[in-house]
Amino acid sequence: MTLHVTLPDGSPLELDDGATVRDAAAAIGPRLAKAAIAGRVTAAATPGVTRLVDLGAPLKEADGVAIVTLKGDDPDAVDLLRHSASHIMAQAVLRLFPGTRYAIGPTIENGFYYDFQFSAPVTETDLARIEKEMAGIVSQDLPVERLEVPADEALAVFGAGEPGTGVSGLPLGLDQQFKVELIADLVAAAEAEGSEAPTISVYAQGDFVDLCRGPHLPSTNRLGNGTFKLTSLAGAYWRGDEKNAMLTRVYGTAFATKEELAAHLEALELARQRDHRRIGRDLDLFSFHDEGPGFPFFHAKGMRIWNAIIDYWRAEHVAAGYEEIRTPQILRRELWELSGHWENYKDNMYFTQIDEQPFAVKPMNCPGGLLVYKSRRRSYRDLPLRLAELGQVHRHEMSGVLHGLFRVRYFTQDDAHIYCTPDQLEEEVRGVVRFMHHIYAAFGFSDVRIELSTRPEKSIGSDEMWARAEGTLSRVLDAEKGPDGSPLAYMLNPGDGAFYGPKIDFHIRDVMGRTWQCGTIQVDFAMPERLDITYTGADNEEHRPVMIHRALLGSIERFMGILLEHYGGNLPTWLAAEQVLVIPIADRHAAYGHEVLGALHQAGIRADIDERSESMGRRIRDGQLQKVPYLLVVGDKEQETREVAVRERGEQKGSALLADAVTQIAAEIAERRLPA
């Protein structure tokens, strides 16, 4: 008997009954068979659903089949490669550290990790040993086999029972409690749905067995030596819950070729050199302390950068028709219940009591802003009403995910809420989209990726509200042009909206190619109804306004960290903590140095003077290490001619009259010029 499948170009392929994806690749040609690592299969019964499967997966009549290889830029192939690398790493760990319990090992952006419970401490120095053992497993070229077994057998395989061999040939009694818990959850979910106990997929390679959905490389040798690297260790709670066991997370990465890995490691080294935590320490910008874990302490120089960002933010918002407000940090629990935050967000909130009444520290600014709106009657003539707030919010984050300024427990949102009539909604959203691009360009971010996220599973509001809000955002994005005049490209992200409305997210790309989600626009019909806000229309009747939640930079703290890494600490002059450093060559030049300093201060330039007894070369070097954009050196000649010797970002520019130098630097700051 034969079966017939269809290839991606629409051509038919005839195979023997019972053929697999591997057989299909071989029938197409020996070169493809050698390069194949998996397949994409679209069943005739479900034409819109394509599954990524192992080479050994059986095919059925009228299936659509595409062969996956590591050649080209296929994200599925790279993801599969990294997932297999995580299993090989886990196998290596078990060989080197017998008795280790292994939890989960997913892929992540640019790599993978696996969580382990070691019986003895493991340090960064052990990574090289694990890598070496991984190389041995790769060289062994162990076949990777998928088995589907009943749940009771899977529990016996990973449970703490007597060692032996199961019906499927798998070893029993591996004593892996985390796997047992995962299997038990699958069984419980099936029982809750009234279904039979599920079949469990297990992967085996040599002496290693893992619970996994797959798919995987057909053999360990397909990973290739020299194409993977273990990068770091971190602590992580089992299932992200601090009440559970603390595990050791081993991070790694893998690529199809050695060249791709080398390029990635070079980028990682660049990122390490540009790490904002390191720059913040070296430039004396901010610090973290055990007395406030996850709460950044900004130093004087850090506040200069902070204020430069905020001053620009305020000026631009005034020009765009916003009014600034400020709302309290702590508000009654009833408000958070009414807004929906209690039901949807309480696990991330902090609580307190005042006069024996329950209060919550705000994780978002929206409910407070709504109270400002409700504080007086509003007319249609007041709308659109654009209220901006630099609101400090607190969110409970697990200690394992805290990361410098990127993940903290308090931060300042550059928030705004726009209240408008339904007829004004599209124009207001369009205005915010354009405002986003304008603000990002000022900071040097011109590559912006946009996502439209729709209704999540957990949400508030009616179907009609959601359909109307999603339709508005889609129409704006479809009609809008980018800064270069071309149609605005965006991606659809189904089910990832906020619980109260769909959203447009803006991702900026830094100099290292990384993307950061910063800005967001969220259309909300639900919260105005829940908090009962209205406006009086031209018909003298009460109407419900639409609420737009909007942030541009997102978190000021996080955005500062992004800026520091994007520029490697060499911020544009208008943002730099110290814009000019005056260096008198000798003590006799100190008086003129202070005169130069005074002229700079009078022009509003952030400047300091280095009068230390160190050599001029040392002071120049220190100024450059502190990332000061301009060094003005003064000696006998400069003092006599009323000039300064200018060094701009390490490059000697020659001499200029003091007045001219001050004017030019002040103009650069006022125009917010970006480095060439």
Q: Is 239 helix (H, G, I), strand (E, B) or coil?
A: helix
Contact (CB, 8 A) for 88 and 135: no
Report the SS3 class of residue 36. Answer: strand
505 part of the active site: no
Cα–Cα distances (Å) from 228 to 86, 110, 224, in that order, read 10, 11, 8
Active-site hit among 205, 413, 579, 626: 413
Instruction: Please tell me the distance from the alpha carbon of residue 14 to that of residue 44, in angstroms, as a whole number.
Output: 16
Residue 325 and residue 343 in contact, taking contact as beta carbons nearer than 8 Å: no
Question: Residues 240, 520, 483, 309: is their CA dihedral positive or negative?
Answer: negative
Given the residues 179, 301, 417, 550, the one annotated as active site: 417
Q: Of the candidates 565, 543, 561, 541, which has an alpha carbon nearest to the alpha carbon of residue 553?
A: 561
Which amino acid is present at 519? G
- Residue 293 near residue 409 (C-beta atoms within 8 A): yes
CA dist list (Å): 425 to 221, 281, 326, 503: 57, 45, 24, 14
In sequence order, the β-bridge partners of residue 449 are 507
Q: Got the DSSP string for 483-497?
A: TTSSBPP-EEETT-S
Would you state the structure tokens that stand for residue 574, as one six-digit string?
């208008």
Q: Are 255 and 78 in contact (CB under 8 A)?
A: yes
Residues in the chain, total? 676
Q: Which residues pair with 155 in a beta bridge?
A: none
Question: Which position among 395, 407, 437, 619 bears the catalytic label?
Answer: 395
Active site residue 395: yes
Cβ atoms of 523 and 546 closer than 8 Å: yes
Catalytic residue among 82, 362, 503, 627: 503
Q: Is 503 a catalytic residue?
A: yes
Helix (H, G, I), strand (E, B) or coil at 416: strand
**Nearest CA among 420, 421, 414, 388 for reference residue 319:** 388
Per-residue burial over 477-504, b if 16 or more Cβ lie within 10 Å, else e, is beebeeeeeeebebeeeeeebbbbbbbb
Amino acid code (one letter) for 289: H
**Is 205 tagged catalytic?**
no
Cβ neighbors of 67 (< 8 A, separation 6 or more) are 21, 24, 25, 28, 32, 36, 39
Catalytic residue among 212, 366, 420, 518: 366
Catalytic-labelled residue, pool 414, 415, 505, 510: 415
Interacting residues of 490 by C-beta distance below 8 A, sequence separation 6+: 450, 451, 452, 477, 504
Helix (H) or strand (E) holding 137: helix 127-140
415 is catalytic: yes
Q: Which amino acid is at 137?
A: I
417 is catalytic: yes
Angle at the Cα of 100 from the Cα atoms of 98 and 104, rounded to 5 degrees = 140
Q: What is the DSSP pairing of strand 385-394 with strand 12-16?
A: unpaired
Is 241 an active-site residue? no
Closest CA to 469 of 549, 521, 525, 534: 525
Say which of 83, 274, 455, 549 is annotated catalytic.
Answer: 549
Indicate which residues carry an active-site annotation: 366, 395, 413, 415, 417, 503, 549
